[in-house]
Structure 1
Amino acid sequence: MRLIKRPLTLGVAALTAATLVLAGCADSDREGEGDGGGDGASQGTEGSEGDSGAPAGGDFTFAGSAEPTALDPFFVSDGESFRVSRQIFEGLVGTVPGTADPAPLLATDWEVSDDGLTYTFNLQTGVKFHDGSDFDADAVCFNFDRWYNMPASAQSPDLTYYYGALFRGFKTGETSGDAIYESCEADGTDSAVITLKSPFAGFISALSLPAFSMQSPTALQDTQDDAAENPRQTPYSTGEGGGPVGTGPFKFEAWNRGENVTLVRNDDYWGEVAQLDRVIVVAIDDPTARADALRAGDIDGYDLVGPADLTTLGDEGFTIENRPAFNVLYLGMNQAQKPLDDIRVRQAIAHAINLDEVVSTSLPEGTEKAIEFIPPTVAGYTEDVTTYEYDPDKARELLSEAGAEGATIQFNYPTGVSRPYMPDPEATFNIISTQLEAVGLTIEPAADQWDPDYLERIQGTTDHGIHLLGWTGDYNDTDNFLGVFFGTKQPEWGFDNPELFDKLRQARQIPTVEEQVPLYEEINGDVMDFLPGVPLAHPVPSLAFAPGVEGYEPSPVQDEVWNQVTVSE
């Protein structure tokens, strides 16, 4: 049996009142089974057996910024839900610790046919789901066929975003003609053969997404009928009927809505058994409140440290861990609104922005300026693109040529949110607004609550002007950035560019990454000439931990699994 060490995953829960969440940690356990957590640091050595190799015990309480949407990872697309999923579930493919590169997980290895259509996965042997059923080739095919056969009621971006985006369609429904999945066949118990209808060079990397985790067929069959109506409200998805069942190092115990998610160690885990007894994931939506909770000892660690807290927490003896930046923050420009449909105005805005000042005043230390819409580590990145250096005089000249001097432009930015690519949206908005006004533009601020108002406005309507948004890559594939942004006509950008759409579609279907690179380099050049937005930076996301927490390995794609974490006083 091949033992694969995995990083860890982050937590979940979205509350408006941090005090309510933390208070819930103390009384969240079912049937009096021990202390509800929240004081993990003081319990970290409890049950320790020294160097014997036995689990050291104790609890680990981690704060994310929001609650999970659901516990069935196939029906979610947010990082806080995936944080919990990664503790419970595993896929055929994981990532190399500390990187976004794919690595074997429940599959020991795989072979790809020359035409890029057939993938043969050799599987780990002797692996059990948490309910005691076997993980084998039949279970793999059950999961692939389950995704493909989703009913029409579940075929929406809100419910099945990743499958729709990556597999392009389902067996039935409006998208059936575009589906790239064809079949899965079990070759004995330990080998599964997946056949695609068209090549997808990012297929292996995409399988590292929690949405494509292997789930127990036995557990899923019990809720199959309910899932057709409201898949996020089944007993499986809510944890009310036994909860989700995977193969991961932790098993589901309870989801106390508005309080926490509690998981317990899987003593029968096929890989490296966790040392922690339990993990408790709470939600604190405000970065400052998360920092205060760490200082108070209510939590052992948290995600998305605000820039203002990085230095002070370090000085106070807390541990700061940085994730490698695998993201991009950008200023989007909606061409459905005048004068943003004029390329000269878009160029003027780009030349008006002093990126050095934006980074130094509103983004974490270590943030790199961006010159295009993908990070440097992604295939197809090239420095051979048009760049727009800070040049206020050039900006004024372009605005004059376009007849847009003094034009009023709505500037949308979100409130009530902290994202890895956008830790302090208001600070970023303020500095860019000042720079744009300095070249003669009139800025009309428009702030909206992140969820649901801001995202619905930016991505669902054309009622916006320039806006702050970004993206953290889900897996290492260029299509996961450029295809997400510019693969189709979208309200966010307000343009229709069939040539760009066709190029991205063509690049996606090239069988190998190596063959894709020249076309993606060309597309990056095209995008920066067309200038639908201004790529700003690749911010470094940070996590903070109490001094006794060890073994947490940050991942650029948040593939962080907690079976190697220990907590001591």
Structure 2
Amino acid sequence: MALGLFTACGSDGGSEGDADTAEDFDFSCPERTDGDPAPDEAANESQPFVFGSPGDPTSIDPVLASDGETFRVTRQIFETLISTDCTDNAPGLAESWDQNPEGTEWTFHLREGVTFHDGDALDGAAVCANFDRWANFKGGYQSPNFSYYYSAIFGGFAENDPEMGIETESLYEGCTADGLDATISLSKYTSSFPGAFSLSSFSILSPTSIAAIADVPLEAADSPLPEYSQTAGTLAGTGAFTLTDWNHSEQQVTLTRNDDYWGEKAGVKTLIFRTISDETARRQALEAGDIHGYDLAAPADVQPLLDAGFQVPVRGVFNLLYLAYTQGQAPLEDHAVREALSYAVDRQRIVDNVLPPGGLVANQFQPPSLEGWSEDVVEYEYDTEKAKDMLAEAGQEDLSLTFCYPTDVTRPYMPAPKDIFDMIAADLEAAGVTVEAKPITWVEYIPTTRSGECPLYLLGWTGDFSDPYNFLGTWFAAPSTEWGFDNAEVFDSIAAANTEPDEATRVDLWKTANEAVMEELPGLPLSSSPPSIAFAANVYPPDVSPLTQEDFSQVYFTAGS
């Protein structure tokens, strides 16, 4: 197979890893540059394709998850009404869809002849059963710890549980079925739709699956996930693979080709996702032939892998890394302190030394490729002396802060968490701040940061669909312990943009929202990165996705490699 299988259009900017401005970059998706090689039929039937993932999945029920490692697995088993092509909406289980003029009714015209893995037929009633199930969640199922995406997109539930802290009314008003049509009604327009219908959390389960789990309790926000979500056998989707086994002790998930799949059959009979949290260990496993691909190749490993004959396609830039300031932790409620810390950080150094070529310094909380990116946000250029002076003026010459960072993980926006932490910590120390390092394992990191326990921490986001609300709204649509601020101007500006149906007006409102967020300065946007994914030479890899939404049914072993 030719090593030039992909050209990554989004990774050409700058030189020797340097990045300039958003105008220097093409954010389009990678394109294939050669034809489809012949498959090795015997290998594809007998040899499992093993992919090294950076982390474990959390749940086989997609609605109870919010992490990319879970969705990497569930996306192969379950499908959504809308799919994505690069970052654009594309047909999924629905061949087409339309909306009323107000954008409050969405009618999906489903594919004919689609069956679930358990034999149930896909129709409008099956779609409505899923949306009605989510809207009527009770107790712990309403906790953002479990149904994060549902509450983030739809607001509330049919009956909000006060113990779960959900106070907003639900956008979801109901679903009606007519044969292969399903019409979902919303209380008002929001720019999140139709893109949100592509979210993996909103994957469609079979009616039999829904009936089997209807009475499974989840009483509290800190309850363990239900057993059905941790094992194979209960949930059926429509995807190109079925779940065969989830071996928790060996950190391995095994999938088997669905030979009754409605679309093109998967290239390999058996697909295994094996968790290898250390990026060096992932590379060594590929080099040894123990796995056939892995995600998040370290930037320093890319060229050596290419030189050794491996394939390393690069995804487009569609993510953001940030340094968060938790305003519930003194003295970060002081805007002058947050400004001083922002001036202290050399973001270009992170891009030049840690990120792969094509990395970009961020100056607002969304990638430049989305509508509403503003050229008029407040800028915080690197200036150590200015940071020192501002801290002195704020009476914080002896400031000491705990700084959290994740261990045992790499993310698309954060290829080397410890290295990035070390650089920022050194910058803050140079400005006179005493930094207390607090490394936290990934499994505990998200709950810890969301609860507001870390004054400073590193985190980020890879976009789920092409709309600014998926970034700004995810973080700043309402007060939260994660950020600890209550700025009505910020919340109102995001709400105004999200509910404006006129495109030109909405773009201007998103610009205003970005400007309001950077005035508030809840954190410092650091960078956007084009993450790499590596494969063996004898593998035909999937189309790489800026959303990290690869379809592994496209993978197969090639003949004569």
Instruction: Tell me the TM-score range normalised by the shorter chain.
Output: 0.7 to 0.9
For residue 124 of structure 1, report the CA deviation from its aligned partner. Answer: 0.9
Query: Quick check: 1:319 aligned with 2:308?
Result: no
Equivalent position of 2:480 in the other structure = 490
CA contact (8 A) 1:91 1:207 kept: yes
Matches within 5 A, 1:382-531: 382-452=374-444, 454-461=445-452, 463-511=453-501, 513-531=503-521
- Matched length: 513
Native 8 Å contact 1:61 1:301 kept in 2: yes
The answer as to whether partners of 1:75 and 1:231 remain within 8 angstroms in 2 is no
Distance in 2 between residues matched to 1:559 and 1:227, nearest whole Å: 31
Q: Per-residue CA shift, 1:409-444, capped at 9, x if unaligned?
A: 332222222111111111111111222222333323
CA change 1:61–1:539 in 2 (3 A) is: same
SS in structure 1 of the partner of residue 120 of structure 2: coil
Distance 1:512 1:209 in 2: 24
Does residue 221 in structure 1 map to residue 214 in structure 2? no
Instruction: Give the Cα separation in 1 of the matches to 2:136 and 2:401.
Output: 46
Q: Provide Cα deviations, 1:72-106, integer angstroms capped at 9, x if missing partner.
A: 1111111111111111111110001xx22211111
Of 235, 258, 262, the residue aligned with 2:249 is: 258
TM-score by length of 2: 0.87
Q: CA deviation at 1:506?
A: 2.8
User: Equivalent residue for 1:247?
Assistant: 238
Q: Contact 1:329/1:535 (CA < 8 Å) preserved in 2? A: yes
Instruction: Kindly report which structure 2 residues correspond to 1:105-144, keeping only aligned pairs within 5 A, or say none.
Output: 105-144=92-131
Correspondent of 1:535 among 521, 525, 546: 525
Give the superposition deviation at 1:508: 2.2
1:310 is aligned to 302
Counterpart of 2:80, as a letter, is: G
Q: Distance in 2 between matches of 1:158 and 1:448?
A: 18
Q: CA-to-partner distance for each residue in 1:119-164, whole Å, 9 max, x for gaps? A: 1111111111112221111111111111112222311112211111
Cα distance in 1 for residues equivalent to 2:97 and 2:346: 47
Q: Determine if contact 1:59/1:567 at 8 Å carries over to the other structure.
A: no
Unaligned runs of 5+ in 1: 1-43, 49-54
What is the one-letter code of the residue matched to 2:110? L
Q: Which residue of 2 aligns with 1:152?
A: 139
Pair 1:232–1:367, CA change in 2 (3 A): same
Partner of 1:14: none
CA shift for structure 1 position 56: 6.7
Q: Would the alpha carbon gap of residues 309 and 258 (structure 1) be closer, same or farther in structure 2, given more than 3 Å must change? A: farther
Letter in 1 for 2:290: D
Q: Which amino acid aligns with 1:335?
A: Q
Aligned partners of 1:126 and 1:134 also within 8 Å: yes
How far does residue 494 in structure 1 lie from its aligned partner after superposition?
A: 2.3
Of 65, 82, 95, the residue aligned with 2:54 is: 65
Match of 2:84 among 74, 91, 95: 95
Taking the aligned partners of 1:372 and 1:64, their CA distance within structure 2 comes to 29
1:84 maps onto 2:73 in alignment: yes
Q: Would you say 1:546 and 2:533 are equivalent positions?
A: no
Question: Quick check: 1:380–1:520 contact (8 Å CA) kept in 2?
Answer: yes
What is the CA-CA distance between 1:166 and the residue it aligns to? 0.7
Tell whether 2:176 aligns with 1:181.
no
- Residues in 1 aligned to 2:483 and 2:216: alpha-carbon distance in whole angstroms: 37
Q: How does 1:33-44 map to 2 (within 5 A)?
A: none
2 CA distance for matches of 1:312 and 1:79? 27
* Corresponding position of 2:28: none
Cα separation, 1, equivalents of 2:426 and 2:317: 27
Q: CA RMSD in A?
A: 2.1
Offset at 1:519?
Answer: 1.1
Contact 1:369 1:536 in 2 (8 A): yes
- Quick one: structure 1 residues 108 and 231, their matched pair in 2 at CA, closer, same or farther if it must change by over 3 Å? farther
Structure 2 distance, partners of 1:514, 1:366, is 30
**How many Å separate the matches in 2 of 1:232 and 1:274?**
30
State the secondary structure of the residue aligned to 2:515.
helix
In the alignment, which residue of structure 2 is the partner of 1:194? Answer: 184
**Unpaired stretches in structure 2, ≥5 consecutive residues:** 1-38
Q: CA deviation at 1:265?
A: 1.2
| Secondary structure of residue in 1 paired with 2:339 | helix
Q: Deviations over 1:6-26 (max 9, x none)?
A: xxxxxxxxxxxxxxxxxxxxx
Could you tell me which of 262, 283, 294 is aligned with 1:291? 283
What's the CA shift string for 1:211-234, capped at 9, x where partnerless?
111111023212322356689434
Runs of 4+ in 1 over 6 A off after TM superposition: none
For 1:361, the aligned partner's letter is: N
| Corresponding residue of 1:328 | 320
Provide the C-alpha distance between the structure 1 equivalents of 2:217 and 2:83, rounded to a whole number of angstroms.
27
- Equivalent in the alignment of 2:366: 374
Q: State whether residues 140 and 146 of structure 2, in contact with CA within 8 Å, keep that contact through their aligned partners in structure 1.
A: no
2:196 to 197, 201, 206: 206
Equivalent of 2:42 in 39, 47, 51 = 47
The 2-side partners of 1:231 and 1:144 are apart by 23
1:45·1:57 contact (CA, 8 Å) conserved in 2? no
Asked if 1 retains the 8 angstrom alpha-carbon contact of 2:493 and 2:516, the reply is: no
Cα gap change, 1:198 to 1:263, in 2 (>3 Å): same
Taking the aligned partners of 1:166 and 1:231, their CA distance within structure 2 comes to: 24
Quote the residue 2:345 is aligned against: 353
Q: Give 1:561's match in structure 2, choosing from 545, 548, 551.
A: 551
**1:67–1:258 Cα contact (<8 Å) kept:** no
Report SS of the residue matched to 2:349.
helix
Mean alpha-carbon deviation: is it higher for 220-229 or for 146-155?
A: 220-229
